[in-house]
Amino acid sequence: MRHSAGLCPGFRGAYGRRAGPGEVLNRVEAGGGPPGQVAASGHQRPADPRRSLARVELVLAVLAVVVFVTCTVVAVSLLALRALRRAVSPAVDRAGVALQARARGTVGEVARLRRDLDTAVRRGGRSLAAARAVHAPVGDVPALLDRIESAARDLDAELRAVGSVADPGRAAALLAETRHRVAELVAAADDVAEGVARAAAPGRADIAELRAACAAEAEALREGARVRGRSWWFGAA
């Protein structure tokens, strides 16, 4: 016993005594070395705080990208829906007005006046677009069309209000006043559209000159063909 303890002087028991050979062997098999070495081998190293911080930053960056992409998709979807609603709403309104225009009485007349207003305003806009496409002078037509569109919106709202009046006699009286202003505004829009169309269309003199030039060129081509035919004939002879 003393000899074994002398061989392993650093091995002591639980109560400060020297460990026996069996205890020494068990400890060596369990830990691979003395108690100090076993404790040292079982101790874990603390985590690196810089690595943990890098992981947190990576997670936050991914979350930020996901939130940004989601917000972008939602915003684009809302803008697309609003644009689609603005494009579809006038068409739906015109279809409803066209159906109401077939009715009789105040409702039908109100719908027909609203239809005439819308047709006149859109005709003026198409004439202006055609004139700009051929670089024709338009003068103050854009400003006039803006004023016509503004007045048409006011009259359309007034016609809607007249159509909602329950008393037929009162609705007819209000409609008589509005009908005259609608006719004047439609006539003004037609005048502007006609003026723009005349400015965009070529004049009769220009067309006559163009036709004369085309006829002269065609005659020159025919004369050249006849001359080449004579030259080939005499050469062959």
185 with 105, same domain? yes
Task: Indicate if the pLDDT at residue 44 is higher than 70.
Answer: no
> 144, 136 in Cβ contact below 8 A?
no
Q: In this predicted model, what pLDDT tens digit does every residue of 96-142 receive, in sequence order? A: 777 777 878 788 888 899 999 999 999 888 888 888 888 888 888 88
In a domain, 224, yes or no: no
The confidence band for 64, taking pLDDT boundaries of 50, 70 and 90, is very high
Domain boundaries, position 81: 45-88
Q: In this predicted model, what pLDDT tens digit does every residue of 192-223 receive, in sequence order? A: 888 888 777 765 556 777 778 888 888 888 88
Give residue 68's pLDDT. 92
38 with 54, same domain? no
Give residue 38's pLDDT. 43
In a domain, 153, yes or no: yes
18 forms beta bridges with 12
130 with 196, same domain? yes
182 with 194, same domain? yes
Q: Could you give the number of structural domains in the chain?
A: 3
- Which residue, among 200, 183, 192, has the nearest Cα to 122 in the 3D structure? 192
118 with 196, same domain? yes
Residue 12 has which token pair?
């002591």
16 with 75, same domain? no
How high is the mean pLDDT of the chain?
75
CA–CA distance, 196 with 222 (Å, rounded to integer): 40
Predicted model pTM: 0.52
Domain end: 62, 88, 114, which one?
88
80 with 158, same domain? no
108 with 166, same domain? yes
137 with 78, same domain? no
Sign of CA dihedral 91, 92, 97, 102: positive
In a domain, 237, yes or no: no
Q: How far is CA 137 from CA 18, 140, 193, in A?
A: 116, 9, 13
> 105, 168 in Cβ contact below 8 A?
yes
Cα 52–chain centre separation: 42
> 46, 55 in Cβ contact below 8 A?
no
CA–CA distance, 63 with 85 (Å, rounded to integer): 33
> 118, 97 in Cβ contact below 8 A?
yes
Task: Indicate if the pLDDT at residue 29 is higher than 70.
Answer: no
In a domain, 147, yes or no: yes
Task: Indicate if the pLDDT at residue 26 is higher than 70.
Answer: no
Q: In this predicted model, what pLDDT tens digit does every residue of 131-178 receive, in sequence order? A: 888 888 888 888 989 999 999 999 999 988 888 887 778 888 888 888
Beta-carbon count within 10 A of 31 CB: 16
110 with 199, same domain? yes
Q: In this predicted model, what pLDDT tens digit does every residue of 1-21 receive, in sequence order? A: 444 444 444 444 444 455 455
Give residue 164's pLDDT. 82
12 forms beta bridges with 18
